Amino acid sequence: MSTMPVPPSLPSRLPDFAEKHGFDLGAVPYTGRVLLESLLRGEDPAQAAVLGKRLALGEDPALEMPFRPARILVQDYTGIPLLVDLAVLRDRAAEPGRVNPALPVDVVVDHSVQTDWAGRPDALGLNEALEMSRNHERYAFLKWAEGVFDGVRVIPPGRGIVHQVNLEQLATVVTEGPDGSLMPDTVLGTDSHTTMVNGLGVLGWGVGGLEAEAQMLGLAQAIRIPPIVGVRLTGTVSPGTSPTDVVLALTRRLREENVQGLMVEFTGPGVEELSAPDRCTVANMAPEYGAMSAFFPVDEETLDYLRRTGRDEAAVTRVREYCREQRLLREGAEPAFRRTLTFDLGEVGPSLAGPSRPDQRISLGELPGSLAALCPQGLRSEAGVQDGDLVVAAITSCTSTSNPKAMLAAGLLAKRAVERGLRVPAHVKTSLSPGSRAVTRYLADAGLLTDLETLGFHVAGYGCMTCNGGSGPLNEGIGEAVDRADLTVAAVLSGNRNFASRVHSQVRAGYLASPALVVALALVGNVRTDLESQPLGMDRDGRPVHLRDLWPHAGELRELEARYVTPRCSHPTTHHSPPGRRSPPPTARCTRGTSPPPTSVRPRTWTARADFPS
């Protein structure tokens, strides 16, 4: 256990505080324990005592508190305006060097890259070149801001998606406060899916830009603590069921249970059935089921994940010992909740969500019927394009690409499809946009990346891309045919949102699915097919190939994950390019000019090449 100092007002151990004030800390939800620590660190023991007593009795907190996270997490769309405001303050300050964020700020550049090019070997290089040309000045400003503001760290373009980078590199679970004492890693982010890191026992949620800026300026966020709802997981995940299937089933159930604005905490024996990436997939979609947060307490699986993603053993030991000392490490006894819901993991099977909301969960056999509801006039066609044709198939989003089991399943399905001679129809725009370079590393090492590429799933970039609407143009001639006949065409992606026209303005039907199902639907080329009973296509010998013929087995996925998903994959200096492909390294990716004078808001010229540090 670290002997680092703690503030005089903060007891060294939460158990001592609970004993002193007469409440059972073991009955307090783990989410509440993190909030208790925050209150004590903010020197409000009286409020902490009230909160602890109410939560231990399973009551609503009914309190407002100032929440001070350990750090702020932003992406480029929302982060640049915040830093511009700081730059303006700096420009007007008598002592510019004193203008700095009050909290550490991580900026992950992931929202600007678009899927302009896809389905070809050079898509990555082409898209990154376009990204740089379009965002020349914005990225130069970020590079300048990182150099002049203390506590600002920029994760450059081409590294991955903010929430996956947060899991694999930035989150520490336990960190050091300004005074050098240990504290839980907590985060506020300017993106609704900041909740993803809740799967590692890091409490955090999304906030607006003004709230984040207030935190950067040293003002705590005042929150009214909502009730904490327990979701008791039971049963075992069935073979053939993916993490995406689990989160889609939970999204539907929790929407029905109306957890809007509440804090959700997962408990029960089923928690042990989920890997850390599985938990993060579930926590990622908290905004889709309406929760403020979706917390999984720290346990041995969390610690193993830290090891698997390259954290050193000293850091892992620090997390274990601190969490054990503060009773933040998950124990056998379950806490008291205002309300507890039970969810049986064994009842979940393969599924999708669509055609327009994440909670519209449907079985594979119900897919054609979901399209029929959008085409009451019957199926129409134009220039070889028909209602229900799949025009976008994207393996994308931190929701699923952060999960090795899900990505390896997609690779294995692609491998078997290629072996049987299946191919993707020309009207389907296929793309692979991993949330980090670790993904392409282990897919390549496992020999599966080439099979995905054979089906058109070439790496198009490392960013949000299709998931946040940056899907680029449809394949040649497809968009024109859709517009002429006002066709209802479809997209499928391994993301978290599928509202009408979100993925693409010409696409009315959007479906969420696991990466493996994205590959399967791409092979079919439409959403008119019943994947449970109809074949995906015909093999070289004219025999039908069904989904069940290609579906990976749980045992082989475990074997591949154990062999190829290693700490070196997540190392921040991993910059893997598929063999024979050109992908610019992180250096020479962004342009900038001469360094600005100390009080300048932005540089006057941008001429020299800039290189983000590895």
pLDDT in tens, 83-130: 999 999 999 999 999 999 999 999 999 999 999 999 999 999 999 999
Confidence of residue 143 (pLDDT cuts 50, 70, 90): very high
The C-alpha torsion from 99 through 104 and 110 to 112, rounded to 10°, is: -10
| CB-CB neighbours of 294 under 10 Å | 29
C-alpha to C-alpha distance for 373 and 384, rounded to whole angstroms: 22
Band (609; pLDDT cuts 50, 70, 90) = very low
Tokens 């079985």 identify what position?
Answer: 363
Task: Please name the residues in contact with 215: beta carbons below 8 A apart, sequence gap of 6 or more.
Answer: 68, 69, 72, 102, 103, 188, 207, 221
What is the reported pLDDT for 377? 87
The terminus-to-terminus CA distance of the chain in angstroms comes to 32
Q: What is the mean pLDDT of the chain?
A: 90
Among 512, 431, 549, which Cα is nearest to 245's?
Answer: 512
Q: Read off the pLDDT of each residue in 360-386 and give the average, rounded to a whole number.
A: 94
* Peptide bond just before 227 cis, omega within 30 deg: no
The reported pLDDT for the residue numbered 572 is 55
DSSP class of 120? S
Confidence of residue 502 (pLDDT cuts 50, 70, 90): confident
Per-residue pLDDT of 162-173, as tens digits, reads: 999 999 999 999
Average pLDDT over residues 453-481: 95
Per-residue pLDDT at 6: 46
Please report the domains of the chain, with CATH numbers, ordered by start residue.
30-67 (no CATH), 68-222 (3.30.499.10), 225-349 (3.40.1060.10), 355-567 (3.30.499.10)
Residue 430 has pLDDT above 60, yes or no: yes
- Phi and psi at 385, nearest 5°, equal -105, 135
Q: What is the pLDDT of residues 242-297, one digit of tens each?
A: 999 999 999 999 999 999 999 999 999 999 999 999 999 999 999 999 999 999 99
Q: Which residues contact 568 (CB under 8 A, 6 or more apart)?
A: 310, 441, 574
Comparing 469 with 426, the larger pLDDT belongs to 426
